[in-house]
Amino acid sequence: MPAHSLTPPSPSAFSRRSFLRRSALATALAAAGPTVLSACGASPAAGGGGDGPTFLSYLPLETLSMAPELLAVAGGHFGKHGLDVTLQPVKGSPQAMQTLLAGVGPVTRIGQIDVMTAVAESDQPLVNIGTLTRGSSLRFVYSKENPLTKPEDFVGKTMGVPSEGGTSSKVVSLVLANAGLDPSKTPRQVVGLTPGTFNLVQQGRLAGYVVSIDTANIVLSQHEDAAAFDPGTTVRSDSQCYVADRNIVRDDPDTLKAFLAGIQDALAAFVADENFEETLGVLREKYSFATLDDDAIAVQSLTAMRELWTGGDPAAPLLVTDEAEWKAGYDELTAADEAAPGGDSSTWFDNSLLPAAAA
């Protein structure tokens, strides 16, 4: 039987598989450290909570950056394709990859930068099975008193990031490297990602910090002196993609196909819902957090994300990885010394698991 088969298992197999998954999760999280255990304590069963596949989220669940996965659960889109998906938050992309490779879940969503770095430098068996965003879903929040509107403005100034050496820090480096500037000239400081961190920017202790789109919109709504820089204006490799272990792609493609079909249905619902009234209603029946509950912030954030999901063309197929863009991202990373050169990036993605209309 495949590791994540949709076929109902026998009671004994069901119990053993649940035990193995819990054991793998405990081992992976223990290895990752107590901060991960704390992060995972938020709401590990935000999905169905059954014995279906686990989606490993490097993001906390209480953000509209998770809108596709949240709607796929709340709107029954996973269920339509026979899946009872549990959304399991872990702390950051490194832990998402660790727990994925430990077999805790069959799929996660991380950045193209993380995938390419891991495969090119350590030959991890990761494959991109669907590209979610066609641009950066990050924003650099800063004060108009100390503007960050072009790469040269970042030199010699401290940027706040959620972790050392993580995706956000690498995106800051790429903004500088693509402009021919030395990334080491911009110090990084680990900070919280809440809107309150903007106080450190106003005090001059940070030039800016890296947040999600919806958090940026909250800061902009609360502070007249706040502004945001979109790194996607200069960086090509900061896309988001769904990633699986090659062994799962080989052994259990049906679970991954059903997962991607559920995500595609959720994205299609957002695309068709012009003012998001219907989709927000569905999300609010199951979830409640600050950016979801605020009409203005939610609509503004989802509008920006819809632009990223579609690449500005609502008729374009969702989730399909464009080989030319994928390769351009790898070229960008190797030129900036963020990934080892010489790899064959064309073998690091696979569109064959996407629904037929998308692929």
- We report the CATH number of the domain holding residue 251 as 3.40.190.10
Amino acid at 299: V
**Separation between Cα atoms, residue 247 and residue 53, nearest integer Å:** 15
**Separation between Cα atoms, residue 302 and residue 271, nearest integer Å:** 10
Q: Is residue 98 part of a domain?
A: yes
Q: Is residue 215 part of a domain?
A: yes
Domain boundary among 208, 233, 258: 233
89 and 183 housed in the same domain: no
The DSSP code sequence of 152-176 is GGGTT--EEESSTTSHHHHHHHHHH
Q: Is residue 304 part of a domain?
A: yes
pLDDT in tens, 207-266: 999 999 999 999 999 999 999 999 999 999 999 999 999 999 999 999 999 999 999 999
Three state DSSP letters for 286-352: HCCCHHHHCHHHHHHHHHHHHHHHHCCCCCCCCCCCCHHHHHHHHHHHHHCCCCCCCCCHHHCECCC
Q: Is residue 61 part of a domain?
A: yes
Domain boundary among 182, 210, 233: 233
Report whether pLDDT(27) > 90. no
Mean pLDDT for all residues in the chain: 87
Percent of the chain with pLDDT over 90: 78
179 and 107 housed in the same domain: no
Q: Is residue 35 part of a domain?
A: no
**Can you tell me the mean pLDDT for 185-201?**
94
pLDDT in tens, 163-178: 888 889 999 999 999 9
195 and 243 housed in the same domain: no
**Can you tell me the mean pLDDT for 329-341?**
96
269 and 149 housed in the same domain: no
Name the domain count of the chain: 2
Q: How confident is the model at residue 51, as a pLDDT?
A: 65
**Separation between Cα atoms, residue 98 and residue 90, nearest integer Å:** 10
Q: When comparing pLDDT for 317 and 18, which is higher? A: 317
80 and 163 housed in the same domain: no
**Separation between Cα atoms, residue 86 and residue 48, nearest integer Å:** 5
Return the closest-CA partner of residue 305 out of 212, 168, 210.
212
Strands 240-245 and 188-190, sheet pairing: unpaired
Q: When comparing pLDDT for 17 and 349, which is higher? A: 349
User: What is the distance of C-alpha 309 from the center of its chain?
Assistant: 12
Reported confidence tier of residue 63, pLDDT bands at 50, 70, 90: very high
Q: Yes or no: say if 227 and 221 are a contact pair by the CB < 8 Å rule.
A: no
Report whether pLDDT(56) > 70. yes
Return the closest-CA partner of residue 197 out of 230, 222, 175.
222
pLDDT in tens, 114-125: 999 999 999 999
202 and 330 housed in the same domain: no
| Structural domain boundaries, residue 160 | 138-233
Q: Yes or no: say if 95 and 60 are a contact pair by the CB < 8 Å rule.
A: no
Reported confidence tier of residue 43, pLDDT bands at 50, 70, 90: very low
104 and 89 housed in the same domain: yes
224 and 265 housed in the same domain: no
Q: Yes or no: say if 261 and 355 are a contact pair by the CB < 8 Å rule.
A: yes
Q: When comparing pLDDT for 358 and 107, which is higher? A: 107
Q: How confident is the model at residue 44, as a pLDDT?
A: 42
